[in-house]
Amino acid sequence: MSTTEAFFTGALAMGFLVASVFFARFWRRTGDGLFAAFAAAFVLMALNQALVGLLEIPREERSPIFALRLLAFLLIIGAVLWKNMGGRRS
């Protein structure tokens, strides 16, 4: 992995963590579980990106680490479905 690729991988992981912090703040303010699910999903995506960078995996979609990203998206889909099907309203 080149220096530029490593830099952008780290920047992307940091961006995911920043998004997670924002969603965690919204969750603390509103108590809405949708925000908590988004915060957790962004933590999983940050972890996925950090591991890809640290382990220097060239084809991320062929590694078992990709399951973290899948879990993050499933968490988001599940939270949106729960919210739309009559979950706790704020």
Distance CA 76, CA 47 (A): 16
Residue 45 contacts residue 16 (beta carbons within 8 Å)? yes
Nearest Cα to Cα of residue 18 among 51, 1, 36, 42: 42
Show Cβ contacts of residue 51 under 8 Å, excluding neighbours closer than 6 positions: 57, 65, 68
Q: What three-state secondary structure class fits 60?
A: helix
Residue 45 contacts residue 72 (beta carbons within 8 Å)? yes
Which pLDDT score is estimated for 66?
Answer: 87
Which pLDDT score is estimated for 58?
Answer: 76
Put simply, whether the predicted model's pTM sits higher than 0.75 gets the answer: yes
Task: Pick out the chain residues at pLDDT < 70.
Answer: 87-90
